[in-house]
Structure 1
Amino acid sequence: MTSSASTPSPDLNDIVFDDWVERWLPRPWRPYARLCRLDRPIGTWLTLLPCIAALVQSAGGFPSLKRLIVFSLGALLMRGIGCTVNDMWDRDIDKHVERTRFRPLTSGQLGMRQAVAFLVGQLAVCACLLFFINGHSRWLALAVLPFVFIYPFCKRVTYWPQAVLGICFNWGMLMAWSDTRGALPLAGVAMWLGAVLWQIGYDSIYAYVDVRDDQRLNLHSTALRFAEQGKTWIGGFYLATLLLWTWAGHSLGAGRFYYAGMAVLAAHFCWQLAVFDLKRPDRNFMLFRANLWVGVVLIAAALGGALL
């Protein structure tokens, strides 16, 4: 598979230097904020929104304020931990990738000793949240850590690192059910699996931005696996997502509003596939971010399906 662009596009760089981090944070804090992606919250939202939907479904309506706070902080911290680990693994690779060459570790703004200390600090703060969830959920929280730490290695040995990332990003959905009901019903697992497949789809769109650099560096991704058949593969994952989410809603006795939400998501996925272009990495950035609305609609569907 070949890249469409003959020269690198400056738009592919994923750091904006004239943003709130640069304007408002003290200079020593800025590299740490960028290391845990505080400057790019889309990943946190894509982690948190499906989790909130699971909290709504497991509660049969509005979740408690305490759980909303705990799971929101957990999503923010776990996303930061995952990004820190990823950049530590990839510090020597990122300098050769158009999108990542200015990240703090690869550009020399931070050293490995500082990154390790920051990672330990994030893990310590995240561990404090364990006191606010039940015992089953604590074990689930510990069980996701191996996936977080092996994800950066996966791109070196398999074409499916996006699957591991999907497991990590959406793990909070399982914990939401476990903490709310003390059990994991099959419908809750189906919602989680649907979210994993959704992420494989949208993160594959994102991966097409890096195909030229990944080929040159002998790295792997679903984008390289799907090659020119990307629309077909991604469409298949989106379809499987809708089927799993629809079945789960039926199993949970969701009202008609839930199925209306599924119809909206189906239309949104069709729009993504229509706009998706293997030769337009800048457009793929936009489509990746557009999945924020999938999470919003999923929450609305879960809430409406439970209350109406």
Structure 2
Amino acid sequence: MQGNAPTPDGQVADAVSGNWVDTYAPAFTRPYLRLSRADRPIGTWLLLIPCWWGLALAILSDGTPRWEDLWIAIGCAFGAFLMRGAGCTWNDITDRKFDGQVERTRSRPIPSGQVSVRQAVIWTGLQCLLALMILLTFNQAAIAMGVLSLLPVTIYPFAKRFTWWPQVFLGLAFNWGILLAWAAHTGTVNIPAITLYLAGIAWTLFYDTIYAHQDAEDDELIGIKSTARLFGTDTARWLKYFLMATVALMGLAIIDAATTQASIIALVVALGGPWAMGWHMAWQLRGLDIEDNAKLLQLFRANRDTGLIPLIFLCVALLL
């Protein structure tokens, strides 16, 4: 539609208003930064926050914080930015024909002609290389988990072609940082990390179903599957299930991890995290309107705060 055509400077339709890419970045870098979604930082947050969950819970589990944990946290931040960028670029390469047919995505760099497919492939490789350099500073277990993460990242863009549940594949990819950060601290992957990983997947199903409703009509026209299309007007009920699964699984992960080393007070405080997170998700449900795209985008972006809530509780628990 005309209202969502590329602006003269190439700004993407759903970019954050006044974002730093379109305002301050050198002109020649903007198409590549747009490919990486640097103008829409919420995705980086949603990839990074589970990493920090995993690290914080690992520290709570063994009660042995180390100075290298600070680098793990910082390395995860840089890695999340780079791998989210690489994943989004790969997604745009594989979806370039679909994106040109969807109102919200036709202004992206490849379908709008800002970047060629060849340039996008090179940009993907560069981001992956930089992320690998960071990964190699971690222990062998974390490196192995980082390499394995490429599997769900590679598969995800194709999932909406063969399953009504592509959000599950997004959850597998976006929450892998839980396992990686846990392994970076402990040198292995334990049951609490896996349980927390499942909680993250349930959370992803919650927020990405909300996000997918923005494209439901266009997706139906071009044959793209999603949980938004699958659930339709029954979405609110399904989101309640994902909310309950997120809270329950995160609570179980915390109990399993914290009962060996943490104090009772620390355990109680840590358990306040999923409880408060659940209330924030319930607030989103109260404001849900699957016909209002502006509201859907607002609720989706609110999930940065949703994810930070249990992280704050975990960090406070580490001090007790």
TM-score (norm 1): 0.93
Residue matched to 1:162:
167
Structure 1 runs not aligned, ≥5 long: 1-6
Question: In structure 1, what is the Cα distance between the partners aligned to 2:101 and 2:248?
Answer: 40
1:8 Cα deviation from its structure 2 partner:
8.7
Amino acid at match of 1:148: V
Asked whether 1:123 is paired with 2:128, we answer yes
Amino acid at match of 2:50: P
Residue matched to 2:27:
27
Asked whether 1:293 is paired with 2:305, we answer yes
1:242 Cα deviation from its structure 2 partner:
0.4
CA contact (8 A) 2:273 2:311 kept: no
Question: In structure 2, what is the Cα distance between the partners aligned to 1:31 and 1:251?
Answer: 45
1:262 Cα deviation from its structure 2 partner:
2.4
Q: What percentage of residue pairs aligned between the two structures are identical? A: 38
Q: Choose the corresponding residue for 1:149, options 138, 154, 174.
A: 154
Question: In structure 1, what is the Cα distance between the partners aligned to 2:218 and 2:45?
Answer: 27
Residue matched to 1:229:
234
Moved more, 258-267 or 15-24: 15-24
Per-residue CA shift, 1:267-307, capped at 9, x if unaligned? 11211111111221211111101111122111112122333
Indicate the SS of the match to 2:89: helix
CA contact (8 A) 1:37 1:80 kept: yes
Residue matched to 2:286:
274
- After TM superposition, what 4+ stretches of structure 1 lie above 4 angstroms from structure 2? 7-12
1:220 Cα deviation from its structure 2 partner:
0.3
CA contact (8 A) 2:22 2:39 kept: no
Q: Choose the corresponding residue for 1:238, options 233, 239, 243.
A: 243
Structure 2 runs not aligned, ≥5 long: 6-11, 259-265
CA contact (8 A) 1:35 1:83 kept: yes
1:19 Cα deviation from its structure 2 partner:
3.5
Asked whether 1:210 is paired with 2:222, we answer no
Q: Choose the corresponding residue for 1:200, options 200, 205, 211.
A: 205
Moved more, 259-268 or 220-229: 259-268
Residue matched to 1:3:
none
Amino acid at match of 2:153: V
Residue matched to 1:250:
255
TM-score (norm 2): 0.90
Q: 1:19 to 1:67 in 2, by over 3 A?
A: closer
Question: In structure 2, what is the Cα distance between the partners aligned to 1:190 and 1:85?
Answer: 29
Residue matched to 2:8:
none
CA contact (8 A) 2:178 2:197 kept: yes
Moved more, 27-36 or 144-153: 144-153
Question: In structure 1, what is the Cα distance between the partners aligned to 2:287 and 2:224?
Answer: 26
Amino acid at match of 2:204: Q
Residue matched to 1:51:
51
Q: Choose the corresponding residue for 2:90, options 80, 85, 103.
A: 85
Q: 1:31 to 1:55 in 2, by over 3 A?
A: same
Asked whether 1:219 is paired with 2:189, we answer no
Question: In structure 2, what is the Cα distance between the partners aligned to 1:113 and 1:87?
Answer: 12
